[in-house]
Amino acid sequence: MNRFWVVFFIFWPIVAIVLCAIAPSMNWWFPGTTGPTHGEAASPLGQRIDDLFYMILVITAIVFILTQAALGFALWTGANRRNDESAKSWFSHGSHNLEVMWTIVPAGVLLFIALYQMDVWAEYRIKDNFPRERMEAVLTRLGIDFIDESQLTADGQPVRRVALAEVTARQFEWRIRYPGFDADGNLLPLLPDPQPTDLYSVNDLHLPVGAPVMIQLRSSDVQHSFFLPELRIKQDAVPGLVIPVWFEANASNEYTLLCAELCGWGHYKMKAQFVAEPEEEFLEYLHNLHAEQNDDAFLDHLLRLQTDAGEDEGLAFQEFLDQLEVDHNLAAFRNYVRDRRDEMTAEEFTTYVGGLDAETAAEEFNAILQQSSAETADAEESAADAATEEVLEE
């Protein structure tokens, strides 16, 4: 019976070791095993963090196996000892040598881990180490003028605005603010305060892939935590603080963004996606956001004029113009076409006005352009006339 208990107590550590050994191959492992990365870290830093984890795992596994083996040995010899009442017990307690050994060896191991991991820690957290040049190269490629001459840092240098998005955690969602475009279509730097040009999204963070990028993290209510499990990035969002966080995704994918700080009853709802994509796609995403946020749906009005008139036929061109005249927005339509003469083609023109073949459409299109520019010229002329008259009157 004694031997049964020895086997029983040794059986469980063996199960534990086997489970640990097969865990990676069974995907019982790091976060994101069911995601696109299958548990592999999706960032260079994350891979180094995983390496540290593996190293610690190896050390603890060796210690675990040795101690369990020692325990098993002690149990086995104990179980084999005959129940001899005259035999004397042997006490290991108070062995100076042993105590020194099991103090010094773990201390040495801990000190080694503490020193060995400092490099990774410093790369992520020490300001001097952060990959400024590579980050700024991304901004340059995106065409952002990120050096703000109007503001100086403490040491007299212009402020460099390297963040690409501001992520605000709130109960229970992630609100994101991107910089917008100026009138010439250049991407602007992200300023600390909201700007009229800014672009907004929610629960959907898009950033360039393959290079370090930075966000500014804030919270608008309680404490949250910005957690990208697949990238091994976790940073608390603290009310009242703006915390820069940088990370680098090494493959284009949709990753999970979670809140890792119990922030209230809806904590579980705070799931968003982080889309790492090539720079062109990121720019295109911002362009789409810009177009969506400035859409005035006037084209929908034009299209509906056509649909209301009947699915197949649509309005004939003249009817269409008459209809616009009734609505008192024929002039607005002409201006609209004129303002978009660079982007709009005659074919596109037909989708709005309907009922035209390609040739007539091109003619009408040009006619409107000419007519509206003639009208503008007239208006300018009459304005100029009025001005001269005024001068003459004086």
Partner 1 sequence: MVMSPLQFRPSVAAISRAACLALLLAAVLPISGCSDGQASYKHRESFEELAPFAKDYLGEKLDEHFGTPTQPVVWEDLPLRLHAADARVVASTSGSTGLRTLTVTVSDENLAIEPGMEVMFLSGARLGEEEIGWIEEYDAETGVITFETELTGPAPAEGDRVVFGPGAVIQRGRMLYAEHCQHCHGVSGDGNGPTAQYLNPLPRDYRMGVFKFTSTAQPARASRTDLSRIVENGIPGTYMPSFKLLEPDEMSNIIEYVLYLSMRGELEWRMTQFLATDYSQEAVSERIADGESRGEIEEGFAEAIADEGEIAEEWTLRVELITESWQAGQEESSTIYPREPRVEPTPESIARGRLIFLGADAKCATCHGDSGLGDGPQTLAVQPPDPLTGDVHTEPGLFDSWGNEITPRNLRSNIYRGGRRPLDLYRRIHSSIKGTPMPAFGTSLSDQQIWDLVNYVMTMPYEEYSPGVGSDPPGTAELRALLPPPMDPAAEVETPAADTTEAAADTE
Answer whether 37's CB lies under 8 Å from 230's CB.
yes
Residue 329 found at the interface with partner 1 (CB under 8 A) = yes
| Residue list 284-313, contact with partner 1 (CB under 8 A) | 292-298, 300-301, 304, 307-308
Specify the amino acid at residue 224. H
Residue 269 found at the interface with partner 1 (CB under 8 A) = yes
Strand pairing partners for 226? 235, 259
Contacting range for partner 1; rule: CB under 8 A; set: 18-26, 87-95, 142-150, 267-275: 267-275
Q: Residue 195 or 223: which CB sits closer to partner 1?
A: 195
Residue 196 found at the interface with partner 1 (CB under 8 A) = yes
- The radius of gyration of the chain from alpha carbons, rounded to an integer in Å, stands at 35
d(CA 176, CA 260) in angstroms, rounded, equals 18
User: Can you say how many angstroms the Cα of residue 178 is from the centroid of all Cα atoms in its chain?
Assistant: 11
Candidate residues 272, 275, 286, 361; the one interacting with partner 1 per rule CB under 8 A: 272
Least separation in angstroms between CB 196 and partner 1: 6
Least separation in angstroms between CB 258 and partner 1: 11
Candidate residues 33, 68, 171, 252; the one interacting with partner 1 per rule CB under 8 A: 171
Q: Residue 134 or 304: which CB sits closer to partner 1?
A: 304
Contacting range for partner 1; rule: CB under 8 A; set: 102-110, 184-192, 237-245, 271-279: 271-279
Quick one: angle between helices 298-308 and 317-326, nearest 10? 120
Would strands 213-219 and 147-152 be described as parallel, antiparallel, or unpaired? unpaired
Cis, bond preceding 181 (omega within 30 deg of 0): no
d(CA 119, CA 49) in angstroms, rounded, equals 11
Please count the residues of this chain forming the interface with partner 1, following the rule CB under 8 A.
Answer: 35
Answer whether 32's CB lies under 8 Å from 257's CB.
no
User: Can you say how many angstroms the Cα of residue 107 is from the centroid of all Cα atoms in its chain?
Assistant: 40
Residue 204 found at the interface with partner 1 (CB under 8 A) = yes
| Residue list 64-123, contact with partner 1 (CB under 8 A) | none
Residue 327 found at the interface with partner 1 (CB under 8 A) = yes
Residue 200 found at the interface with partner 1 (CB under 8 A) = yes
For residue 245, what is the enclosing H or E element?
strand 243-247
Footprint on this chain of partner 1 (rule: CB under 8 A): 171-173, 175, 194-196, 200, 202-204, 265-266, 269-273, 292-298, 300-301, 304, 307-308, 327, 329, 332, 335-336
